[in-house]
């Protein structure tokens, strides 16, 4: 499960990294939580576009938008089987932009939060799906992240991790002409652990109200 992440990289760098123009300004976020608007990238006719979609996918057929609270993640193994994700997998794929994510490791009765990111410090893309819900004139465009089995770095922390797409996989994921389910699922694999790092952070991140830089500071730095 991926239930919290960060995106505090420079906006110009994000635009260059993902070949997209972000309209307006993008505030630095250190503790992004479900139900909040998140930065996603889609491709329409070959052109990449940036959007802010609500995190927690609401299927177009849903009767109650609250279902989105249960749809913050989709499992790679069954993404083509679930009615909520099967359609978007073919026609509504997106990149969810981040530069780190959080996971909690259970230690006895406590849960220790970790911040996980690329060693390069660069922003990256989660494999995502989106959908649009329209009910009596209320329109909500929402998204979800896809998760997979953990790599060697993550397996000691949690039994799932978000799918991080490399450059080549990003292009394929956004290509609307690709609808082969088996091929798309073949992209949903654990990222190379050698390119990632994880470190303990303060419990301040436990509350989504704390959207502050202290969330990403290594606990060892605070202790000293």
Provide the annotated active-site residues. 2, 103
User: 47 pairs with which residues across the strands?
Assistant: 44
| Strand partners of residue 156 | none
Q: What does the alpha-carbon distance between residue 146 and residue 132 come to, in Å, rounded to a whole number?
A: 18
How many whole angstroms separate alpha carbon 120 and alpha carbon 55?
A: 26
Phi-psi category of residue 147: left, alpha or beta, with phi > 0 → left and psi -120 to 50 → alpha: beta
Alpha-carbon distance of 206 to 129, in angstroms, equals 26
Count CA atoms closer than 13 A to 202's CA, side-chain side: 15
- How many angstroms separate the CA atoms of 147 and 62, rounded? 22
**To the nearest 5 percent, what fractions of the chain are helix, strand and coil?**
25, 40, 40
What's the rounded Cα separation, in Å, for the pair 8 and 6?
6
CA pair distance 129, 92, nearest whole angstrom: 6
């Amino acid at each position: 499960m991926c239930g919290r992440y960060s995106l505090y990289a420079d906006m110009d760098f994000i635009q260059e990294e993902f070949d997209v123009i972000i309209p307006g300004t993008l505030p630095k976020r250190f503790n992004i939580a479900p139900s909040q608007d998140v930065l996603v990238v889609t491709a329409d006719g070959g052109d990449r576009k940036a959007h802010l979609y609500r995190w927690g996918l609401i299927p177009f057929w849903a009767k109650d938008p609250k279902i989105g609270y249960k749809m913050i993640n989709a499992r790679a193994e069954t993404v083509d089987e679930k009615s909520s994700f099967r359609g978007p997998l073919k026609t509504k794929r997106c990149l969810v932009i981040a530069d780190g994510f959080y996971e909690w490791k259970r230690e006895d009765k406590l849960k220790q939060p970790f911040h996980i990111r690329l060693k390069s410090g660069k922003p990256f893309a989660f494999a995502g799906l989106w959908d649009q819900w329209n009910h009596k004139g209320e329109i909500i465009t929402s998204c979800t992240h896809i998760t997979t089995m953990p790599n060697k770095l993550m397996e000691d922390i949690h039994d799932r991790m978000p799918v991080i797409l490399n450059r080549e996989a990003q292009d394929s994921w956004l290509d609307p002409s690709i609808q082969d389910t088996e091929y798309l699922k073949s992209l949903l694999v654990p990222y190379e652990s050698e390119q990632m790092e994880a470190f303990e952070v303060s419990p301040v991140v436990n509350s989504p109200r704390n959207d502050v830089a202290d969330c990403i500071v290594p606990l060892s730095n605070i202790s000293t």
